[in-house]
A and B are shown apart, each in its own frame.
Chain A
Amino acid sequence: DGGITQSPKYLFRKEGQNVTLSCEQNLNHDAMYWYRQDPGQGLRLIYYSQIVNDFQKGDIAEGYSVSREKKESFPLTVTSAQKNPTAFYLCASSLAGGLSEQYFGPGTRLTVT
């Protein structure tokens, strides 16, 4: 059963704590992405990776970090430096390049108080 999984679905943290969101795909896709969605707004790109051991900053990378040690996995760490971390976080993957369709995981809703 191919797809993208994200865990956990809901995450609650206290301010000042780092938290890592999981994203795994078994679609054999080369590229993976992290987006953030705030209420009433479109998706904003945080980081993306085209190949293993390589990744690039998106539009809003400050306060976030990623790794891509395996093709299937692209975890996102929300650090204490991120000023407004409460949001809906979406992971996506695609075969390659911007011409390819991106498919999304179910998302993780992070609440920081």
Chain B
Amino acid sequence: QKEVEQNSGPLSVPEGAIASLNCTYSDRGSQSFFWYRQYSGKSPELIMSIYSNGDKEDGRFTAQLNKASQYVSLLIRDSQPSDSATYLCAAADMEYGNKLVFGAGTILRVKS
């Protein structure tokens, strides 16, 4: 069974700090990785995708991928209370090209 593991949290950071969210995956063949943000009672919203080793930046968000270590992370700079949500990491299952395997999510709380 292919798995994506995340620390459930909650991860608490003060407003303005950097929040670091981490994820490991079991399928060494995975090529695509995604971060979703989910507010309580709402559906997931895609915030970042990453396909190559290294960093990818988009505004206050930076995704990092290390395929050798099977590790994906999301950094949120200048964290705001509105960033408080559950962050889901997902990896594409290459055996079934359309399938995403999701982690259970990390709860982030940004305190003002």
Contacts and interface: CB of A to CB of B under 8 A. Distances in A.
Contacts of A98: 32, 92-94, 96-100
A8 interface: no
Interface in B72-109: 88, 90, 92-94, 96-100, 102-105
Given A31-B98, A99-B51, A104-B43, A41 B104 contact: yes
A45 B45 contact: no
Contacts of A99: 31-32, 51, 92, 97
A22 B105 CA distance: 26
Interface residues of A, number: 25
Given A98-B94, A99-B51, A102-B34, A42 B102 contact: yes
A104 B105 contact: no
Contacts of B94: 98
A90 to B, nearest CB: 6
A12 B5 CA distance: 33
B21 interface: no
Interface string B1-14: 00010001000000
A48 B44 CA distance: 17
Contacts of B32: 98-99
A106 B42 contact: yes
- Chain A CB within 10 Å, residue with most, of B36, B49, B98: B98
Contact of B100 (A40, A102, A107): A102
Interface of A: 31, 33, 35, 40-45, 48, 50, 56, 58, 90, 94, 97-99, 101-107
